[in-house]
A and B are shown apart, each in its own frame.
Chain A
Amino acid sequence: MAQPETVHGGIGQSIPRKEDARFIRGKGNYVDDVDLPGMLFLDLVRSPYAHAKITALRKEKALAVPGVLAVITGADLAAAKLAWMPTLMSDTQMVLPTDEVMFQGQEVAGVVATDRYAAADGVAAVEVDYDPLPVVVDPFKALEPGAPVLRGDKGKKDNHIWHWEVGDKAATEKALKESAVVIKERLYIPRIHVSSIETCGCVAQVDAMGKLTVWMTTQAPHAIRTVFALVSGLPENQIRIISPDIGGGFGGKVPVYPGYVIAVVAALTTGQPVKWVEDRTGNLTADSFARDYHIEAEMGATKDGKLTALRVKTLADHGYTDAAANPSKFPAGLFHIITGSYPFATAFVEVDAAYTNKPPGGIAYRCSFRVTEAAYTIERLVENMAHKLKIDPAEFRLKNFIPPEAFPFQSALGWTYDSGNYGGALKKAMAMIGYDELRKEQAEKRKRGELMGIGISSFTEIVGAGPAKQFDILGLKMFDSAEVRIHPTGKVIARLGTKSQGQGHETTYAQILAEELGISSDFISIEEGDTDTAPYGLGTYASRSTPTSGAAAAMAARKIRDKAAKIAAQMLEVSPDDIEWKDHKFQVKGVPDKSKTMAEVAFAAYTTPLEGMEAGLEAVDYYNPPNLTFPFGSYICAVDVDKETGQVKVRRFVAVDDCGVIINPTIVDGQIQGGLTMGFAPAMMEEIPYDADGNNRAGSFLEYLLPTAVETPKWETGKTTTPSPHHPFGAKGVGESATVGAPAAIVNAVLDALEPYGVTNIDIPLSAHKVWKAIHSKDAA
């Protein structure tokens, strides 16, 4: 059978990236590269206290510093009703405080100066008097009666934010009671921070006609524009958000940070452009953190190892306000994917959120809306159950997986998984790593008292938010968009409502369109991020771009193809019914040498009178996905543990991922390798700890530990391909899968190594001293 003709840069090809050209030359255009005439600089005074009353704030010395033009305080903003702003979860957040600071590192005042050195001098010269207040750091204590109430400003009498639950409480209770074996584990997933190498920032400018333009590190420019319009009262057509090149987002560049708002205020009041670029300390201490879930999970099984029920109770530490960037109906995100790759007959999940004296946030760090927390929980418990039942963990999973024929699969917590082949991925991973050989080696080493462990994680992801019925952010439905236009000479420009922060959209969207339109990806320009030109979208996070805008691109291309087919019919003088799209051309059915390319049709669209059609060749699509998509994978990790020091070395890590149809295999591998590293790092070394006074103990890279190329394992990746049945070309999305799946594999491996000591849990990060303690407290006993 003859191979269909491929188009250059079509789906499945590992073409090198188009956007590289500017980055390798150092010609990227990041926010801090924006330079406007008369531009001023904003720097922020931050609170050293986790909870305190501001009794005085004196600007005089700062205003006397050479180069300083203005000091903006909460009192200044309050006069214009801008001291508080809404969060994405309809809570309220301070832009600047008028009376009280609520976390260490909180923005207290803004200093505007002619250059950033003078701004730093100004910040050092602002004098603030604080009266420390009792600090609430432990979310459990926050919910005890008598705890200091943190949000009296909202009329609250306690620190409980919300309760959310899903599933069948009674049936789950019953099923657990009737289970032959029940295990229970308390897992704490601490705060971590995305720490993209570029911090957050913006340049705000108001032009002579009163139009506000903000260059901003944002993953969701349109949503930001609408929020700004609603909050400021400026007409939305007078606001332009430009998200230029972004140096890594990972969810940390979704929320609206006070610095952006203060910069806009400064631009409005000084009449000059104002740049704010936060330093790393500000970024680590105040911006959106991720995780901070205290999880109690119970899992039941029959005596021959069939999983029965799952019950999870979680306390979410949200900091002083709920500013998590979740879809509004899901305050705990998509946490209820927690039944994972297994067909639990019943499950029940409840989450309570508490206020504490910490920064707000929670959704970030490639979490897919809390899926990292969910996948970690289920894969840790499944592994523990396997060990408890003395069944090999791979065998245990293969025995329990949702089988391929069960898809679409309705989970006990309400999700309809589109497709999956969990056994296929796990078996491939086992073959790649040489699982049986590793187990043999482990047995030998155990005899000699050496600590070697093997851990598995077979996760199910849930991405592509989402169908309009269920998904919105602040009421904005979570469709996404693509607007595609073909020029007379057959070249293409497309704009989308998503926003790449390094994922390669300028290449991958071009590849989708190349495939759908039969035009070389070399001739397809992709633009995102300018709200004046791009169609409305909800942005890029939670691995949603390919499932939403990727689909929209395909659908827009197909609308174009429909019109183009009619034009081709006219050009070929046949009826439109006689035209088929074959080998990337419009062909007369049965007469293959009578055909027209898209380029020929495009030229005709502008130069030939068309019967019954307008000129031009373009389409826009706002794609409302019918469902989410469910990428999945199996990861296997082998570690060696130094018994004396607790140091862990990841010897091998095999990751088999299934993200459905792959647009660009090299780019997908890159996403996985980066994602694995962002799973490894929280498992091993990243954490933002707070002491009892609310002091952030990791406010710089001295203590917030990002792995270098030396610590990072040499990732080995493989694929299976199980297309999504509902996506226009079967793709699922992959950006966060590896971060979701990796941590459990690593922790499971380390605990497996420690099996002689009977340890069933160590909370991440697995620093040497924790592993050492687990070993030595058992040794001593």
Chain B
Amino acid sequence: MAVDVAETPQAPGPITTRTIQVTVNGVTHKSTVQNRMLLVSYLRERLRLTGTHIGCDTAHCGACTVLVDGIPVKSCNLLAVQVDGRKVQTVEGLASGGKLHPIQEGFHEEHGLQCGYCTPGMMLVSVALLAQNPNPTEDEIRRGISGNLCRCTGYVNIVKAIQHTAAKMQNPAKGGP
């Protein structure tokens, strides 16, 4: 078949880059990235942390949510260069020393996930929500996760998972409901 295939890629044009230092899940990385590289691309492709997902082009779905200095942000809508000097936490950084974070246990125990694609973003936004509001009402939970879309669950069990986690984190001895 006759398809034009260049023998070698063309020499680089005016692609501009910057060296950044980012601490991701406690590990500090020094990387040279294109200015235009989105944070989600940096995490997934450069650091091979593929737990953060891409689900849309317009920052609606929230599948790409990570925590930057503890605050949920949509990593598809931030440039990697914007987190120079900052701390990023992804889903891979939730468990600690092999022990799952209560939010991970909550999602598992309450069937808060089906295909799993929105789950990392949902869990991270929930962690931040509970840090600010340890005992949220159902409506506060629903508002809190309204930047994250799920197509599988209808949200009922995601709400339950967060409620389960809230209870557990307030009463660790009791082990939750």
Contact = CB atoms under 8 A, between A and B. Distances in A.
Chain A in direct contact with chain B (Cβ < 8 angstroms): yes
Interface of A: 16-17, 19-28, 30, 32-33, 35, 59, 63-72, 76-77, 79-80, 82, 113-118, 194-199, 245-248, 250, 265, 268-270, 277, 279-281, 501-504, 666-667, 669-670, 672-678, 700-702, 706, 708-710, 712, 714-715
B131 interface: no
B154 A247 contact: no
Contacts of B15: 66
Contacts of B155: 673, 677, 709, 712
B142 A701 contact: no
A26 B115 contact: no
A673 B152 CA distance: 8
Contacts of B163: none
B13 interface: yes
A465 to B, nearest CB: 22
Residue of A24, A247, A270 contacting most chain B CB atoms (<10 Å): A24
A270 B5 contact: yes
A109 B51 CA distance: 31
Given A68-B6, A677-B153, 18 more contacts: A23-B113, A26-B92, A28-B51, A30-B117, A67-B9, A114-B9, A197-B151, A250-B151, A265-B1, A280-B61, A670-B114, A670-B154, A670-B157, A673-B154, A674-B153, A700-B56, A702-B60, A706-B149
Interface string B6-29: 100111110100000000000000
A329 to B, nearest CB: 31
Nearest to A670: B111
Given A197-B149, A709-B155, A24 B108 contact: yes
Contact of A196 (B3, B9, B95, B151): B151
Contact of A502 (B52, B116, B156): B116
B104 interface: yes
Contacts of A63: 4, 6
B73 interface: no
B106 to A, nearest CB: 9
B2 A502 contact: no
Contacts of B12: 66
Given A17-B111, A198-B53, A269 B3 contact: yes
Q: Is the interface of B mostly helix, strand, loop or mixed?
A: loop
Contact of A248 (B109, B151, B156): B151
11 contacts: A24-B107, A24-B108, A25-B91, A26-B50, A30-B50, A66-B10, A76-B2, A118-B9, A674-B152, A709-B143, A709-B158
A269 B1 contact: yes
B154 A26 contact: no
Interface in B54-72: 54-58, 60-61, 63
B133 to A, nearest CB: 15
A386 to B, nearest CB: 28
A270 B155 CA distance: 44
Contacts of B118: 197
Given A678-B151, A706-B151, A712-B155, A700 B57 contact: yes
Contact of A197 (B2, B11, B36, B61): B61
B116 A504 contact: no
Given A24-B107, A678-B151, A66 B3 contact: no
Contacts of A700: 56-58
Residue of A248, A504, A666, A709 contacting most chain B CB atoms (<10 Å): A709
Nearest to B117: A247
